[in-house]
Amino acid sequence: MRVVLVHDWLTGMRGGERVLERLCAMFPGAPIHTLLWNRGTVSSRIEAHEIHTSILQRLPGVRRHYRWFLPLFPRAIRSLRVGECDVVISLSHCAAKAIRVPARAFHLSYVFTPMRYVWELEDQYFPPGRFPWPASGYVRRTCARLRTWDVATSRGPQAMVAISRHVAARIARHYGRDAQVIYPPVELRRFTADTGDRDGYLLAGGFAPYKRADLAIEACRRLGRRLTVVGTGQDEPRLRELAGSNAEFLGWVSDDRMAELYRRARALIFPGEEDFGIVPLEALASGCPVIALGRGGAVETVGRGAPAPDLSRVAEGGMAAVPGGVLFGTQSVEALCEAIRESERHCFAPETLRRLAEPFDAARFDQEFRSVLEREYAGWRAGAARAVHS
């Protein structure tokens, strides 16, 4: 099959880019179409592919402040032309699923989430009072238009796959579509479950508002616990102001250094509601327990195998020790402080934690993705053939 890959933007190696990297290995000759590419910010495996960018690439300031160009994303993604192909695979948390696809091509969209900026997280990205009138009115109207556009373009892909049950439920709620679930790949071979000494806590990921890194920084400051912070993002200046002398900011680090940090941390703190979350699984694969907000993907990973009453207690705002660490149900500094104390009352065996991550291995992703793609593609072709002969 002649395959084309579509990704929202290429500006750093986060969870979505790890999935793209895996598909690049699966389809080594596939070109990539994307809104924007900051050369050198993603892996050599991705950048070895032929990469096509949109009209946004030429706009001044877009490489540093691309999120401010959100109102232009619909036009920009529709400006891309993928050319003749058999299959288009879009990886979308924003606009990629809206790519124009040739009439004879099959489109499978792997959805990280419906456009989070204008659905559940609108008030976090565009909080009331952030923009003065009349800009505030423009922002609200723009978000409403983008929601309408997001729903309309969700009808384009012939098949839609979600990264978690949490996201599948969101797709059903916003798009009125069913989505199969294929969990993203975690390259477990990069991590080992060390039984050595562990000290201090770890916070890792992009610093977007919804990830609530501020909760982890403030909780560790109050408790006097050492915190290592990995990552960068739009919230970094504010987070540095909040941090005390116990927090060390490392920026982005190499894969080898990240694996070492997981092996040495007492626990990973994961205070945001994530659509899935690869970072907690990398921690578990390293024998590092996770202290996570008990919503979203963490329930399906850190809470995997937990008794139903424990998960119900977390869903009601409480807290529970689970196989992968501790889940807390109230997104507050006080609740996180108590969850940290609770984790310190338990001993988590590194080998047991690693076994929790094993069902999410990258080889499993490869097998499931190929199987779903081939099945859906064959069904679409059969349907097209019936339509021609009817």
Three-state secondary structure string covering the chain: CCEEEEECCECCCCHHHHHHHHHHHHCCCCCEEECCECCCCCCHHHHCCCEEECHHHHCCCCCCCHHHHHHHHHHHHHHCCCCCCCEEEEEECCCHHHCCCCCCCEEEEEECCCCHHHCCCHHHHCCCCCCCCCHHHHHHHHHHHHHHHHHHHCCCCCEEEECCHHHHHHHHHHHCCCCEECCCCECHHHCCCCCCCCCCEEEECCCCHHHCHHHHHHHHHHHCCCEEEECCCCCHHHHHHHCCCCEEEEECCCHHHHHHHHHHCCEEEECCCECCCHHHHHHHHCCCCEEEECCECHHHHCCCCCCHHHHHHHHCCCEEEECCEEEECCCCHHHHHHHHHHHCCCCCCHHHHHHHHHHHEHHHHHHHHHHHHHHHHHHHHHHHHHHHHC
Is 349 found in the same domain as 374? no
Do residues 130 and 215 both lie within one domain?
Answer: no
Taking only the tens place, the pLDDT of each residue in 106-158 is 999 999 999 888 888 777 777 777 777 777 788 889 989 999 999 999 999 99
- Enclosing domain of residue 196: 188-360
Look at residue 386 and tell me whether its pLDDT is greater than 90: no
Residues 144 and 218 in one domain: no
pLDDT of res. 247: 95
Question: Is residue 128 domain-shared with residue 220, that is, in the same domain?
Answer: no
**Rg, Å, the chain Cα set:** 21
Predicted confidence at residue 390, as pLDDT, reads 62
If pLDDT is split at 50, 70 and 90, which confidence band does 207 have? Answer: confident
Quick one: pLDDT at residue 84?
Answer: 93
Q: What is the pTM of this model?
A: 0.85
Q: Which residues are within 8 A (CB) of 290 and not within 5 positions of it... i.e. 6 or more apart?
A: 267, 268, 269, 270, 280, 283, 284, 298, 302, 324, 325, 326
Same domain membership, residue 354 and residue 285: yes
pLDDT, one tens digit per residue, over 89-111 is 999 999 999 999 999 999 999 99
Instruction: Answer yes or no: do 155 and 198 share one domain.
Output: no
**Number of domains composing the chain:** 2
Please state, rounded to an integer, the average pLDDT across all residues of the chain.
92
Are residues 162 and 197 located together in one domain of the fold? no
Same domain, 63 and 122: yes
Same domain, 34 and 151: yes
Residues 356 and 366 in one domain: no
Does residue 284 sit in the same domain as residue 372?
no
For the domain that residue 34 is a member of, what is the CATH number?
3.40.50.2000
* Residues 329 and 381 grouped into a single domain: no
- pLDDT of amino acid 252: 87
